[in-house]
Each structure stands twice: as structure tokens, then as C-alpha cells.
Amino acid sequence: MTETIVRLKKGEGRTIKAGGLWIFDNEIDTIQGTFKNGAIVKVEDFDGYPMGRGFINQNSKIRIRMMSRKPEQTIDDAFLNMRVRNAWEYRKNTVDTSCCRVIFGEADFLPGLVIDKYEDVLVVQCLALGMEQFKEKIVEKLKGILKEEGIKIRGVYERSDAKERIKEGLTKVKGFIGEEFDTNVEIIENGVHYMVDVVNGQKTGFFLDQKYNRLAMQRICKGKRVLDCFTHMGTFALNAGIGGASEVTGLDISEYAIQQARENAKRNGLESTVQFRCANVLDELPKLAAAKESFDVVILDPPAFTKSREATKNAIKGYREINMKGLKLVKDGGYFATCSCSHFMTQELFVKTIKEAAKATHKRLRQIEFRTQSPDHPILWAADESYYLKFLIFQVVEEK
């Protein structure tokens, strides 16, 4: 069978030449051979120089996602096993693996695929057509590698229900891979117990990327009055409670999330210290300020205000507004933690926006830490999309 060869335009392919994995539709000059969407193709530069192999999809603006930089590499079982084993060995060296992201798409050179491990359960999300053919093979290989470590996986659930699949010409998928099992999983992170609902929870059930940012807040919150905004399942609030906070309030607009948070507080024996309230944070913060409330620690963990480059301008306004509202509630000498989980809100833009919020509220900020996503969500340089979480901790001092 003749192999399909994709040749780039002269001067294009900058992303993959720098170490990334994406080739966009407007970078391609010619395609020689016939293929079906999702097939593996060979990629060459404009002058015929071999650049590697990846899967193609004409439904997507990301026309090719590279699987290997070796042009003669066969994408077979041995290759997939190597990729999965490398991903697991990396996690063993960098994070607590009881609960972690085992495969993080492009950053683990398995584009479009995410696999999260919650104790003895795996949750899979596939967002690329070309990865569909490998998805279940990769799951089986991961289960085999974990078994070698004495870790028996009791079930696998798929959460490929994100709208990104539509852009790939795929339908949303949600359900068991293999036998059915109890999808409520109790996990322990930073000493805090949670019940994760992998069927109905956000994304794959839980936000693992903030693991060590939550841990960083424990020592700051000891003996403090804390406000946790956009608390979701109560993650930052419960870390504050475990860290010895005197009083914690968590706010979230979702009644379902608040109910989960309350149950998690009970699970940790923190229900008398850590309280949760269903509220729209943007509306609630001005009400607290009007009531002359103030806190030793305010934490802002909002959802992404933008998921596209075009919407970034409005997102900046949103981040500026929420940070101004949060800063107004911090006591003089208190602490303020704020983050953005949007890839399009760059580090430079985010820092500029916080500076503007501080200036508008007449606050001085002393930076304690700048942090990003936990190491099981590695940032692959040249793959900008893998760097999305920015997390800053400040001491707040009023201008006098």
C-alpha cells in the first residue's frame, strides 16, 4: 500500500520545527496519495526533508497531529507501549501517583488523549479523530503497566463529552470501557478526602492540576479567616481547613458542587469550620464588601473566561473585575491567591491584569509565589497549548 505523503509550504511548519506537534491546514502545500481521515501519514518539509509521522484529519484546522519525529517509525503496539511506559515512569518520579493525570495529550506525545487515574479507576478523554483507533489499546497497555506495579484497575470510564470533538467530526461519547463498576471513587489528596463522581463531575471528575497549589495554601491559611471563591467541590476551602484555618467560607454557583463540597467537609470532619454557600461569586463579592466583611485570605479559582483567542479582550475585563472584587475583601496584611486556567490568557497578560486590578483598588501586592499546573500536567515547550494554568499568591498591603 502506497504511503500518503504530506508536504509543507516553504517557510511553514514552524511549530513542529520548534518541537511542537501540530500542523495547521494553511501550512500544507500538497498531499500525495489517498487516505481516510484519522490515517497515519508521512510529513515532509517543502524540500522533501522528512519530518515525521502523524495522523491527518481534514475536518480540523489542526490538520495533522504528530505521533513521531522519526519518519520511518511504525505506529504499532511496541510504539504505543513505549509512549505509555514513558508517561508512567515520568509520573512516578514527579508526583504522588495515587491520583494523577497519567497521559496529558501532546505533552506526552499522544496527541488528543487524556487519561486520569483516581486510585483504582481510570478516566479517559479522547479529543482527536486519529487517536480513536489507539484509545482502547493504550488503556490496555496502561492497565498492564500498572499491574506490574501491583496496581489493579477495577474500571475504566470514558468522558469524551467535550465539544472539541465536534470540530474533529466526532460525536460526544460518555460511558464505560469494559465492565460497569461503581463510579464514585474516594480519593485522598494532600491529606484531604474527596468523593469523586467520574460520571457527573467536571472534566474527568476532578481538577487534578491544582494539587500542589492547594497544598501551598495550607500553611498560609493556618489560624486565618478564609474566603474560597468558585470552590467547586470545596478543594481550596478544605485544604485551608486541613491547614488549620479558623473559619472558611466557600462560594459556588452550582448547587450540585456545593452539595458535594458539604459532603466532603463532613468526610474530613471539617463541617464546623468549613461552610459552603451557593452564590454567584461576581454578585456576592460586592455584597460582602458593602457589608464591611473582610478576610485574612481570599482565593480566586474561576473557570476559564476565554477558550478562544478572539474572546481574550473580554476575558481580560472579566479577570480584572473579579480580581478587583476579591482584593477589596482582603485585610491589610492578608493574603490573596488568584489564578487563570485559560491557555489564551498568557502569563504576561494575566500579570498585567492583576497589576491593573491592584492599582484600581489601591492595594500593594507582595508576591510570595508564582506557580503553574502540577507536574503530571507537564508543559511541553513549543506546544503552547500545554501551558494554561497560572497561579499567584500575594500578601496584600494597602497604600498609605
Quote the pLDDT of residue 353. 95
What is the helix (H) or strand (E) element at residue 70, kind and residue range?
Answer: none
* Separation CA 41–CA 371 (nearest Å): 38
**What amino acid is encoded at 189 in this protein?**
E
Crossing angle between the packed helical segments 235-242 and 255-267, to the nearest 10 degrees: 20
* Bridge partners, 47 (sequence order): none
**How much is the pLDDT for 306?**
64
> b/e string for 100-117 if b means 16 or more Cβ within 10 A?
bbbbbbbbbbbbbbbbbb
Q: Which residues are catalytic?
A: 341
Domains of the chain listed by start with CATH number: 5-68 (2.30.130.10), 77-186 (3.30.750.80), 207-398 (3.40.50.150)
> CA 84 to CA 117: how far, in whole Å?
13
The residue assigned the cell 498609605 is 400
pLDDT value of residue 99:
97
Give residue 213's pLDDT: 98
Low-confidence ranges of the chain (pLDDT < 50): none
Cα 242 from Cα 343, distance rounded (Å): 30
Q: Which of 266, 259, 278 is nearest to 238 (CA)?
A: 266
- pTM to 2 decimal places: 0.94
- pLDDT value for 201: 85
| Angle (CA) 172 15 21, round 5° | 40
Give me the residues paired with residue 24 across strands: 62
> Is the dihedral angle over the CA atoms 108, 122, 188, 217 positive or is it negative?
positive
- pLDDT at res. 251: 98
